[in-house]
Structure formats: C-alpha cells, structure tokens
Amino acid sequence: MEGSVGYDNDLNLKATELRLGLPGTEPVSIVRSNKRSLQQVADDDCGVNGCKSDDQNETAPPPPKAQIVGWPPIRSYRKNNIQTKKNESEGGGIYVKVSMDGAPYLRKIDLKVYSGYPELLQAIENMFKFTIGEYSEREGYKGSDYAPTYEDKDGDWMLVGDVPWEMFITSCKRLRIMKGSEARGLGCGV
C-alpha cells in the first residue's frame, strides 16, 4: 500500500481506510461543479448530533469512507442550507465579501484566519494591490486615498479598526474599500 505513514493526532486511520480506486490513488471526492460551495468532506463535520466516535478522548473524529460524487442524490443547495447554520455556530469560517471601488469583481475572505487588524489589512492590500494608510482613532486612515469600511449587522457602514477585533469579526457582514473623496470624508473626525 502506501510507503511512509505519518502519524497525526488521530489514529492514522487513513492507512486502513476503505476507499474506492487503486492503492496509491487519492480518495474519490471530486466536486465537479465549483459554482456551489464545496461539499464539506466529512472529516471536519461531526454531524448534527455531535461527534459519533465512541472514544470521546479522540482529538479528531475518524475519517469517513470516501465520499462518492452525487451520492446520496441530494442537491448541493439543500445540503448546504441545512448545515449552514450549524457550521456558523460551531465556528466554521466567517466568509465575507470584499469589494473595492473601481475593481471589476469582488473577493471573498475568511475573517477567522486572521489574528487581528494588521494581518487583515495586509491581506487586503495584497489582494487588491494598493496601500491603506496609517490608522488612528481620531483621524481614521491617513496617507492614502483608500479607507477600509465594513457593513455591520445593523446595516451601517463603519470604519474598520474602531471596535475590538473579536467584536468586529462577529458583526462584520461585508467589507468595502472606499476610494477618493468619500474615503477622505471618513477620516475627518466625522
């Protein structure tokens, strides 16, 4: 079968796992259509009622049989919409859209992967190839034509950086990099 078998935190069940296909090939888990969100391969999905593993001390649930494409025959939309809420409460990724004034299309980022504002802003700068200025509480973002803003749960547009990071990631619905005079207005103690 396989050559070296690395031991992870779990019981290295991968080596003994039943799979389709010849040894040495990757498990069958092809999702052909990328339009819908990726089918959650179930190793990080404990099912609705929590982890099913008998041994409560395992750090990770046993990996399931390889998923077959399109089986059981449930539309992705239905599958995703039953699990959506559960994932959010279990702390799955917090994906928000990021738009930039003047850019032809939007991007999406997972706020959970960043540890704080500096990392987030750096990532956005890299993504859209521009520079945000220096943040100060009094004056917002100085030194560039751009201001990062976000829409919060109330539907209001706020300047990124004003609230503590944890509060930010739970209340942020989407990000928008404002440009030009609109942006400058935000920095003027308004």
Residue 148, H or E segment: strand 146-152
Query: What gap in Å lies between CA 190 and CA 180, rounded to an integer?
Result: 16
Asked if residue 64 binds another protein (CB under 8 A), the reply is yes
CB of 142 to another protein, least distance (A): 29
Whether 52 and 12 have beta carbons less than 8 Å apart is answered as no
The answer to whether 122 and 129 are in contact (CB under 8 A) is no
Give the nearer residue to another protein in terms of CB position, either 9 or 34: 34
18/188 with CB nearer another protein: 18
- Which among 177, 167, 172, 181 has a CA at the least distance from the CA of 110? 172
Q: Which residues from 147-176 bind another protein, rule CB under 8 A?
A: 153-154
Which residue's structure tokens are 């593993």?
53
5, 15, 106, 167: residue in contact with another protein (rule CB under 8 A): 106
Please list the alpha-helical segments (H only) found in the chain.
76-90, 117-128, 165-171, 181-186
Q: Answer yes or no whether residue 95 interacts with another protein by CB under 8 A.
A: no
Among 1, 22, 48, 188, binds another protein (CB under 8 A): 48
Q: Does 38 bind another protein (CB under 8 A)?
A: no
87 is an interface residue for another protein by CB under 8 A: no
Q: Which residues make up the interface to another protein (CB under 8 A)?
A: 30-36, 39, 42, 47-49, 52, 64-65, 67-79, 81-82, 84-85, 99, 106, 153-154
